[in-house]
Structure 1
Amino acid sequence: MSADRSVLRQAIERGERDGGAIEFKERLNREVHLVDGRKESLAAQLRHRVLSGDGEATYVIGVTDDGGLAGIAPECFSETMDVLSLLAEEADAHIHDVDTWGVSRDDAMDDRRSIEETAAPDEPGRVAHENGADRGLVGIATIREGAVLETDDTHVVIGTAGHVDHGKSTLVGSLVTGQADDGQGGTRGFLDVQPHEIERGLSADLSYAVYGFEDEDPVRMDNPHRKQDRARIVEEADRLVSFVDTVGHEPWLRTTIRGLVGQRIDYGLLVVAADDGPTRTTREHLGILLAMELPTIVAVTKTDLVSEDRIEEVTREIESLLRDVDRTPLPVDRHGVEAAIDEIGESVVPIVETSAVTGAGLETLDTLFGSLPKRSLPDREEFRMYIDRTYDVKGVGAVASGTVNSGAVETGDELLVGPMNDGSFREVDVRSIEMHYHRVDRATAGRIVGIALKGIPESALERGMVLLPRTADPDPVREFEAEVMVLNHPTRIRSGYEPVVHLETASEAAEFTPEDGRLLPGDTGRTRVRFKFRPYLVEEGQRFVFREGSSKGVGTVTGVDGLSDPPPADD
Structure 2
Amino acid sequence: MSPDRAALERAIERGEREGGSVEFKERLTKDLHLADGRRESLAAQLRHRVLSGDGEATYVVGVTDDGALAGIAPEAFTESMDVLSLLAEEADAHIENVETWGVDADGRAKPKGGTQPGDAGSAAASPDSDYEPPESDAPAEGIVGVAIVREGAVLEDDEHIVVGTAGHVDHGKSTLVGTLVTGQPDDGEGGTRSYLDVQPHEVERGLSADLSYGVYGFDDDGPVRMDNPDRKSDRARVVEEADRLVSFVDTVGHEPWLRTTIRGLVGQKLDYGLLTVAADDGPTKTTREHLGILLATDLPTMVVITKADIVSDERLAEVEREVERQLREVDKTPLSVARHGVGAAVEEIDDTVVPVLATSAVTMEGMDTLDELLERLPKTAGPTDDEFTMYVDRSYKVTGVGAVASGTIRSGRVEAGDELLLGPMQDGGFREVEVRSIEMHYHRVDRAKAGRIVGIALKGVREADVERGMALLPRDADPDPVREFEAEVMVLNHPTRIGEGYEPVVHLETVSEAAAFYPDDGRLLPGDSGTARVRFKFRPYLVEEGQRFVFREGQSKGVGKVTDVRPDE
Shorter-chain TM-score above 0.5 = yes
Distance apart, 1:95 and its partner CA: 1.4
1:445-460 alignment runs, 5 A limit = 445-460=450-465
Distance 1:473 1:557 in 2: 20
Match of 1:227 among 204, 207, 232: 232
Q: Assess if the C-alpha contact under 8 Å between 1:477 and 1:562 holds in 2.
A: no
Contact 1:216–1:370 (Cα < 8 Å) also in 2:
no
Please show how residues 127-166 of structure 1 align to structure 2 within 5 Å: 127-129=133-135, 134-152=140-158, 154-166=159-171
Shift of residue 132, structure 1, vs aligned partner:
7.7
Matched, 1:277 2:272: no
Q: What's 1:61 paired with?
A: 61
CA 1:449/1:286 → structure 2, altered by over 3 Å: closer, same or farther? same
| Aligned counterpart for 1:396 among listed residues 401, 411, 414 | 401
- Aligned partners of 2:372 and 2:47: how far apart in 1? 42
Shift of the alpha carbon at 1:3? 2.6
Superposition deviation, residue 185 in structure 1:
1.4
Q: What is residue 26 of structure 2 aligned with on the other side?
A: 26
* 2:79 aligned residue: 79
| TM-score for both structures, normalised by structure 2 | 0.91
SS in structure 2 at match of 1:477? coil
The CA distance in 2 between the partners of 1:43 and 1:376, in whole Å, is 35
Give the superposition deviation at 1:166.
Answer: 0.9
Give the partner amino acid of 1:350: P
Aligned counterparts, 1:314-393, within 5 A: 314-375=319-380, 377-378=382-383, 381-393=386-398
Greater shift in the superposed pair: 116-125 or 234-243:
116-125
Per-residue CA deviation, residues 415-465 of structure 1 (Å, 9 max, x unaligned), is 111111111111112222222222222211111111122222222211111
Q: Which of 414, 417, 435 does residue 422 from structure 2 map onto?
A: 417
TM-score by length of 1: 0.91
Contact 2:96 2:236 (8 Å CA) reproduced: no
Of 554, 557, 560, the residue aligned with 2:565 is 560
Match of 1:191 among 184, 190, 196: 196
Instruction: Answer yes or no: is the 8 Å Cα contact 1:159–1:260 preserved in 2.
Output: yes
Contact preservation (8 Å) 1:100, 1:127: no
User: Per-residue CA shift, 1:446-497, capped at 9, x if unaligned?
Assistant: 1111112222222221111111111111111000001111110111111111
Provide the rounded CA distance (Å) in 2 between the counterparts of 1:80 and 1:119: 16
Q: Which moved more, 1:71-80 or 1:539-548?
A: 71-80
Separation in structure 2 between the aligned mates of residue 254 and residue 239 of structure 1, nearest angstrom:
31
**Identity across matched positions, percent:** 73
- Tell me the amino acid that sits aligned with residue 226 of structure 1: R
Instruction: Report the number of matched residues.
Output: 548
Match of 2:270 among 265, 275, 278: 265
Deviation for aligned residue 1:193? 4.1
Report the residue type matching 2:477 in the other structure: A
Question: Take 2:357 and 2:307, find their aligned partners in 1: how far apart are those partners?
Answer: 12
Q: Does 1:426 align with 2:417?
A: no
Is the Cα–Cα contact under 8 Å of residues 273 and 301 in structure 1 kept in the other structure?
yes
Change in 2 beyond 3 A, CA 1:134/1:339 = closer
Q: What letter corresponds to residue 440 of structure 2 in structure 1?
A: M
Whole-angstrom distance in 2 between the partners of 1:266 and 1:312: 29
- Alignment match, 2:109: 115
CA contact (8 A) 2:82 2:416 kept: no
* Cα RMSD, aligned residues only: 2.3
Match of 1:470 in 2: 475
Q: Provide the rounded CA distance (Å) in 2 between the counterparts of 1:133 and 1:459.
A: 23
What is the aligned partner in structure 2 of residue 296 from structure 1? 301
Cα gap change, 1:77/1:121 in structure 2, threshold over 3 Å: closer, same or farther? closer
In 2 relative to 1, CA 379–235 (structure 1 residues): closer, same or farther, beyond 3 Å?
closer
Q: Distance in 1 between matches of 2:316 and 2:95?
A: 50
Match of 1:45 in 2: 45
Report the alpha carbon displacement of residue 130 of structure 1 after superposing the two structures with TM: 6.5
Once the two structures are overlaid, the 10-residue window that deviates more, 31-40 or 240-249, is: 31-40
Q: CA deviation at 1:320?
A: 2.1
Does the 8 A contact of 1:475 with 1:562 survive in 2?
no
What is the Cα deviation at residue 298 of structure 1? 1.0
Give SS of 2:290's match.
helix
* Distance across 1 between alignment mates of 2:334 and 2:156: 38
Whole-Å Cα distance in 2 between the matches of residues 241 and 14 of structure 1? 38
Q: Are 2:508 and 1:503 aligned?
A: yes
Change (3 A) 1:236 1:360: same
- Which residue of structure 2 lines up, in the alignment, with residue 200 of structure 1? none
> How far has the Cα of 1:236 moved from its partner?
2.6
**2:486 and 2:567 in contact (8 A); partners too:** no
Deviation for aligned residue 1:378: 4.6
Are residues 159 and 365 of structure 1, via their aligned partners in 2, closer, same or farther at CA, if it must alter by over 3 Å? same
Q: Cα offset for 1:45?
A: 2.8
Q: How far has the Cα of 1:398 moved from its partner? A: 1.7
Following TM superposition, by how much is the alpha carbon of 1:216 offset from its aligned partner in structure 2, in angstroms?
7.7
Q: Alpha carbons of 1:371 and 1:46: their partners in 2 closer, same or farther (altered >3 Å)?
A: closer
The alignment status of 1:306 with 2:311, answered yes or no, reads yes
Most deviating of 71-80 and 222-231 = 222-231
Question: For the structure 1 residues 502 and 165, does the alpha-carbon distance in structure 2 shift closer, same or farther, using more than 3 Å as the test?
Answer: same
| Range moving further from structure 2, 489-498 or 41-50 | 41-50
Residues 149 and 235 in structure 1, CA contact (< 8 A), matched pair in contact too:
yes
CA distance in 1, matches of 2:223, 2:448: 23
Structure 1 equivalent of residue 124 of structure 2: none
CA contact (8 A) 2:384 2:450 kept: no
2:491 is aligned with what amino acid?
V
In structure 2, the CA distance between the partners of 1:283 and 1:237, relative to structure 1 (3 Å rule), is same
Q: Distance in 1 between matches of 2:165 and 2:280?
A: 19
Quote the offset at 1:339 in angstroms.
2.6
Comparing 379-388 with 364-373, which one deviates more in the overlay? 379-388
1:207 deviates by: 6.5
Change (3 A) 1:131 1:463: farther
Mapped partners of 1:525, 1:216: distance in 2: 52
Give 1:509 shift: 0.8
The amino acid that maps onto 1:143 is V
Structure 2 counterpart of 1:9, which letter? E
Q: For the residues of structure 1 that align with 2:43 and 2:335, how far apart are their CA atoms?
A: 57
Paired amino acid for 1:76: A
- SS of residue paired to 2:81: helix
Q: Report the secondary structure of 2:392's partner residue.
A: strand
- What secondary structure does 1:336 align onto? helix
CA gap of 1:121–1:411, structure 2 versus 1, over 3 A, is closer
CA distance in 2, matches of 1:247, 1:402: 18
Q: How has the CA–CA distance of structure 1 residues 477 and 247 changed in structure 2, closer, same or farther, with 3 Å as cutoff?
A: same
Please report how far the alpha carbon of residue 57 of structure 1 lies from its aligned counterpart in structure 2 after TM superposition: 1.4
Q: In structure 2, the residue corresponding to 1:399 is in which secondary structure?
A: strand
Contact 1:160 1:246 in 2 (8 A): yes
Q: 1:55 to 1:539 in 2, by over 3 A?
A: same
Amino acid corresponding to residue 106 of structure 2 in structure 1: D
> Does 1:169 find its partner at 2:174?
yes
Q: Which residue of structure 1 lines up, in the alignment, with residue 244 of structure 2?
A: 239
Residue 124 of structure 1 and its aligned partner are, at CA, apart by: 7.3
**2:22 and 2:60 in contact (8 A); partners too:** yes
Deviation at 1:299, TM superposition (A): 0.9
SS, match of residue 107 in structure 1: coil
* Amino acid of the structure 1 residue aligned with 2:254: H
